[in-house]
Each structure stands twice: as structure tokens, then as C-alpha cells.
Structure 1
């Protein structure tokens, strides 16, 4: 699996590997509070070095078995500023998930990372359909998906409360063979 470098050289998606353990752990620790404002906590045990190592080893095993493709997003200084996951589902689908560190949000990095991921999926012919879900309150994530050519599929009917707000999940899809619009602005 190869990395992709954007033309503007701002970021690179690099396949997750064991060498990322220390820096990725630090990234997760530094951004824990921020991430937990948007998604449920991974739990205190995730932030113990032994548990984090086991979790990373599990992702690397999945990647080796082609059950998923996991990446770190690095800037020009090779600092991890985010991560992106592509998890295999049935019916030639990949579920996309990404997170960008708090100091790097609102700068277009999520859009660029997703654009790079789409190019990787096309180049490697991994799957045909990318799907994504986010919460109704996460407008930024919805915009990232839409700007990369994802089509809105609909809202989950089941409501839930998160951080004092009533929300639902919002679903999107990108068909590799049809859309071909990952370079939208």
C-alpha cells in the first residue's frame, strides 16, 4: 500500500504501521477531550499504553488481512494531525471514518485526506462503494463528505441525546464508478 502526496504538499496519508505507535498515542492523548465533544469516549483503558498497543496491533492485523485500511495523516513536518480508516463491509463497500486534531480543524485537511483516500480506493480497486455516517450536529463532517462528492442517503429515524442535544445519524455514499467527483471544492 502506497502513500499519496497532494500536489500542494500540505499533507500525506501514510498507511498505519508499528512505527506510528508513540506519535499516534500522543496524538490521541492530546486530542482526547476535543474528540469526546463529538463522539463517545473510547474509555479510559484505551489511553493506557498496553491497551493502546493491543488496539494498534489489532488494526495492523486487520490491515494485513485486508479487512481494513488504516492511515495517519501527517503534515509537512511529519507530525500526525489526523487519522483515516477504511473498514471493509459486505457487498464491496468500505466504511470511511476520519478524525482531525483540534489544532488543525477548519483548514481543509479533512477534505484533502478524504480526497486522497478516494484516489487510493480507485487506484487500488479496493471496493466499489464508500459509505460514511456522522451525526446531525456535525455539520463540518457533512460538508467534508459533500465537498468530496458523497451523496446524502438519509437520516436515521432513531434519535439519541448527545451532549444535551437530540441528534440522529446522517448517512452518505460515494460510488467509485459513478461519482468520480472527489476533487470538488
Structure 2
């Protein structure tokens, strides 16, 4: 109520959802709008990803159905995709973690929240025992998310030709 001393009701926070076919339009918009932002810190998906998006999405959903990967979207209450958090190459109780947050939503703790939630899902729902991750040396924000969420540095790597670090988290 205007003029009231009571704080406003908090907005519903973004939610993490397992990827579904109906996420396609919002997911494609998210990827297009943030392509340059992402390419500054992670390997670019390439033109083929966008040209064959529908085909790629069907393939990802089939991988998910087979239990090989688990793809998630972080959505605002209206359905806008604000981020992604994925578990790929699931094998022998271990998977690789990847995540990305929209430029306009960065710096609000959404990546940390999504990674924490996904770690819980990985253990409770998907039966995983550990997650691997990697980040380029110049991606300070991503390395900070991994540190805040319990990942331990395990070594060095190269990502799309750029120097990076590898991480592991037991679940």
C-alpha cells in the first residue's frame, strides 16, 4: 500500500527447471541476446548452434531422457530464461557442470544459487557422487562461484585455446 511502512512483498525468485520442449523460445532468445557476453568468457557456441537450434534441442532432450545429461534453465516468474546450469557427460556417478547467466542478471548471486541447487539435485535426484568443472583464468566470476559452492581446484587445462583451471566437488 502506498505510504505504508511495511516493506513490499518480495518478488518470486527465479527457479531452476529441468529443460522441457516448451522452454525452446525463451532459451533461444536467451542464447541470442547473450551470445557476445558469453563469448567473452566461455567458448562461443558457433553459428551452427543457432541455425540448427530446434534439432540441437531435440538431441539434448533425447540425451536427457537417456540419463546422459541433465539440462536446466533458470527462469524468471514470467518464463524468461535468466540462466542455464547443466550436467553433461554423466558416467559412473560423475558429471561435468556448466552454467551461464544472462548479462542483465549477472552479479546478483544467481549463478551461485543455481550451482548450489544443482549440486543438491545431482546427489538427491540424479544419484551422482561428484561433479567436475572448468573455468578460464580470466573468468574470475565463474571461478568465484565454484569456490563458493565447494569446488576444489584440481589442475590446469585449456578451454578453446585459453588457459583455465579444473575443479572437483564431491557430493
- Which residue matches 2:22? 19
Deviations along 1:43-97, one digit per CA (max 9) or x if unpaired, are: 222222xx00011001000000000100110123332101111013443211000
- Higher CA-based Rg: 2
Per the alignment, residue 166 of structure 2 pairs with 171
- Alignment-derived partner of residue 94 in structure 2: 93
Cα distance per residue 1:92-113 (max 9 Å; x no partner): 2110000101101111000000
Query: Helix, strand or coil: the match of 2:100?
Result: strand
- In structure 1, stretches of 5+ residues that fail to align are 1-7, 162-166, 177-185
Aligned to 2:46: 43
1:130-174 Cα distance to aligned partner (Å, 9 max, x none): 010011111110110110111111223x6976xxxxx41201111
**Is the partner of 2:79 in helix, strand or coil?**
coil
- Conserved 8 A contact 2:136-2:159: no
Give the TM-score of the pair, scaled to structure 2. 0.87
| Number of matched pairs | 161
Q: CA deviation at 1:9?
A: 4.7
- What is the aligned partner in structure 2 of residue 82 from structure 1? 83
TM-score using structure 1 length: 0.81
* 1:36 shift after superposition: 1.4
Aligned to 1:182: none
The 5 A counterparts of 1:142-181 are 142-156=143-157, 167-176=162-171
Name the CA distance, whole Å, in 1 between partners of 2:38 and 2:84: 12
Moved more, 24-33 or 118-127: 118-127
How many angstroms does 1:18 deviate by? 0.6
Equivalences for 1:3-152 in 2 at 5 Å?
9-48=12-51, 51-152=52-153
Query: C-alpha root-mean-square deviation of aligned residues, in Å?
Result: 1.8
**CA distance in structure 1 between the partners assigned to 2:98 and 2:25 by the alignment:** 21
Unpaired runs of 5+ residues, structure 2, are 1-10
